[in-house]
Structure 1
């Protein structure tokens, strides 16, 4: 009984640490970009200027990205609507991976793939999400 309880507690702590790590990454990415949104958008448009993606798609995405990162990161961090936050972060990550391949920025790809791996594992082990606002709302 004690061993099974310890394993369960360790799984919950492991889930929390992983959730906080990925949440902080998304939250931090969004947080630092929001105050300089125009500059970030200009930078992103310049990065994609030689890609096959039209500016008419890049501009709205460049403004939405920091907001989506911030919101998904915040949801994941506090564990509120955790599943939806993880799925949103996953969708953002997939869009970033697509964009990264369009500009052939192969150095950025491993980091983005690691983010997707973290998100996937967290989704698979979502029942271990005990230290979260979601857990307290369900009670």
Structure 2
């Protein structure tokens, strides 16, 4: 029983992180996009890749967060969160923003642990749907 509660606690923590990242960026998408383009201006990545990604990122973070928090399509939400984290790690290394890397690695670790322990996801909408 404690493992189920521990899973829920970890799932909510990582879900809230993704949800919060997306939530605060959604109302200011253009400003966020401009900031991201500026961050990558000296990298080899072209604006043609950075701009669309900067608009998709907050939406993807928000969706992943909602799915993970609710425990709805938990596996897919976690996989989306993992993909987001991996792309952020790539971008972080490209612009040599080493200070941001530990946080992103922690996100990947949370996602990996949650995926590996998915059977403990008992307090979730997924369990209600499977009944």
Superposition TM-score, scaled by structure 1 size: 0.94
Distance in 1 (CA, whole Å) between partners of 2:93 and 2:47 is: 16
Matched, 1:104 2:96: yes
Corresponding residue to 2:15 among 17, 20, 23: 23
In the alignment, which residue of structure 1 is the partner of 2:74?
Answer: 82
In the alignment, which residue of structure 1 is the partner of 2:64?
Answer: 72
Structure 1 residue runs of 5 or longer lacking an equivalent are 1-8
Say what the alpha-carbon RMSD is for the aligned residues: 0.3
Bigger radius of gyration among the two: 1
In the alignment, which residue of structure 2 is the partner of 1:6?
Answer: none
Residue 138 of structure 1: CA displacement?
A: 0.4
Q: How does 1:41-52 map to 2 (within 5 A)?
A: 41-52=33-44
Distance in 1 (CA, whole Å) between partners of 2:73 and 2:31 is: 31
Distance in 1 (CA, whole Å) between partners of 2:127 and 2:41 is: 45
Distance in 2 (CA, whole Å) between partners of 1:68 and 1:96 is: 12
After the TM superposition, list the runs of 4 or more consecutive aligned residues in structure 1 that deviate by more than 3 angstroms: none
Distance in 2 (CA, whole Å) between partners of 1:118 and 1:20 is: 11
